[in-house]
Amino acid sequence: MTLESTSSPTYDTATRAGSADLPVRVEGLRKTFYDEGRGEVHAVGGIDFHCNRGEIFGLLGANGAGKTTTLRMLSTILEPSEGDVWVEGNSVREAPEAVRRSLGFFSASTALYPRLTARETLEFFAGINRYPADRVKQRVGELIERFGITAFQDARVDKLSSGMKQKVSIARTLAHDPPILIFDEPTVGLDVLNALALVDNIRELRDEGKTLLFSTHIMSEAEKLCDRIAIIHGGKILTTGTLDELRQETGEHYLEEIFVHYVKDAEAATRELLEEREQRELEQFAGDGK
């Protein structure tokens, strides 16, 4: 298990040495926003992690923990303030187009074009993500069959039910057959049956050899799906490991308890740090007074 702290990320040299084969490698990733009301906001505070080929890597965190910002940086929608990400060896800073070619990005905010049909949607996304032009039709045909889209393939997306749209959305993410897939809180807003179907799809994709990055705040989903889990809180990764490793580390059984364990530790450490700083400032103030 790699335990990463924010102040000194222990992204070990062994991992770095074998990094050429890692599908996703994140180093010192930091994102700072400027907000009119709050000033500088450190949404992601310098994180490191990697994904192994053919695994489901889960980013587990509460709302506002920095999951979406991290995944947006991975998919080049946002540019890192510091640090870098390598996807299939390509840096998000240096070669964002190559990164996007290797990725399929799925989230609640990546909607479909409502006035295109399901088939047109898949053809467009396969083509624009540079799937070989002469094989686009065949690929789209396969996806239509696989996801049971045949009956409504020529219907406009805005006429489809939410379940049908979800199928087209997943097929859209896979249209160019990317080796890495990012699912950012994919089950948000879905009913139970659609959420279960989606979870099954994700598992199938892993079994086909895809590397999946999956963010969620739902513990049961992470427990069922993820081969390795990173717990993220306040823009910092508190720990990374398999579920068994996390259980061993904390002595807790359920992921919910494990999560609370790390978050409480982190908050206690933060409180301690703040109190120490406050004390130092008071002492300095008293010293200056003399």
Partner 1 sequence: MTPDRHSETSSLSQTLRDIRLLYVRELRDALREKSIVINSLLLPMLMYPIMLWLMFTAMTFVQGQQDRFVSRVALQGLPADHGALRESLAEDGDGRFELQELADADAVDELIRAGELDLAVRAIDAAGSAADLEDNVAFELIYDASKDRSDTARNRFEDTLGDYRADWLENAAIERGVSRESWDLFSIKRRNTASSSDMGSFMLGMMVPLLTIIMIAVGCFYPAIDATAGERERSTWETLMTVSASRTSVVVAKYLYVATLGTAAGLINLFALTLSMGSILQPMLGDEASDLSFEMPLEALPLIGVSSLLLAFFVAAGMLLFASFARTFKEGQSMIGPFYLVCLLPPMLVNSPDLELTLGWALVPVANVALLIRGFFSGLYPWELIGVVFAVEIITIVLLLWLVRWVLSFENVLSGSYNGDLLKFLKSNLGRGKAHTVNGDSK
d(CA 53, CA 58): 14
Number of residues that bind partner 1 (CB under 8 A): 46
Mark the segment that binds partner 1 (CB under 8 A) among 49-57, 113-121, 212-220, 245-253: 113-121
Q: Return the residue matching tokens 């049961």.
A: 220
Mark the segment that binds partner 1 (CB under 8 A) among 96-104, 188-196, 218-226, 281-289: 96-104
Please, are residues 101 and 176 in contact by the beta-carbon 8 Å criterion? Answer: yes
Cα radius of gyration (the chain): 21
Q: Is 288 in the site for partner 1 (CB under 8 A)?
A: no
d(CA 95, CA 97): 6
Q: Of 100 and 236, which CB lies nearer to partner 1 in the complex structure?
A: 100
> Out of 42, 101, 146, 217, which residue is the one contacting partner 1 (CB under 8 A)?
101
Mark the segment that binds partner 1 (CB under 8 A) among 74-82, 196-204, 216-224, 237-245: 74-82
Size (the chain), residues: 290
> Out of 95, 195, 218, 263, which residue is the one contacting partner 1 (CB under 8 A)?
95
| Best CA proximity match to 50, nearest among 87, 102, 103 | 87
In sequence order, what are the beta bridge partners of 229? 58, 241
Q: Is 84 in the site for partner 1 (CB under 8 A)?
A: no
CB count, 10 Å around CB of 125?
Answer: 23
Region 181-200 residues binding partner 1, contact defined as CB under 8 A: none
Per-residue binder mask for partner 1 (CB under 8 A), 125-154, x = binder = x-xxxxxxx---------------------
Q: Of 54 and 224, which CB lies nearer to partner 1 in the complex structure?
A: 54
The token pair at 15 is 């991992």
Q: Of 172 and 236, which CB lies nearer to partner 1 in the complex structure?
A: 172
Q: Is 110 in the site for partner 1 (CB under 8 A)?
A: yes
Does an H or E element contain 76, and which?
A: none
Q: Is 162 in the site for partner 1 (CB under 8 A)?
A: no
Task: Reduce the DSSP state of residue 75 to 3 states and report it.
Answer: coil
In sequence order, what are the beta bridge partners of 50? 25
Per-residue binder mask for partner 1 (CB under 8 A), 242-271, x = binder = ------------------------------
Q: Is 221 in the site for partner 1 (CB under 8 A)?
A: no
d(CA 75, CA 96): 8
Q: Return the residue matching tokens 């969620």.
A: 216
Q: Of 58 and 80, which CB lies nearer to partner 1 in the complex structure?
A: 80
Q: Give me the sign of the Cα torsion angle 121, 59, 233, 34.
A: negative
Please, are residues 259 and 219 in contact by the beta-carbon 8 Å criterion? Answer: yes
As measured in angstroms, the least distance from the Cβ of 113 to partner 1 is 6
As measured in angstroms, the least distance from the Cβ of 191 to partner 1 is 19
The token pair at 106 is 């799925």
Site residues (vs partner 1, CB under 8 A): 33-34, 36, 75-79, 81, 88, 93-98, 100-103, 105, 107, 109-116, 120, 124-125, 127-133, 156, 172, 176-179
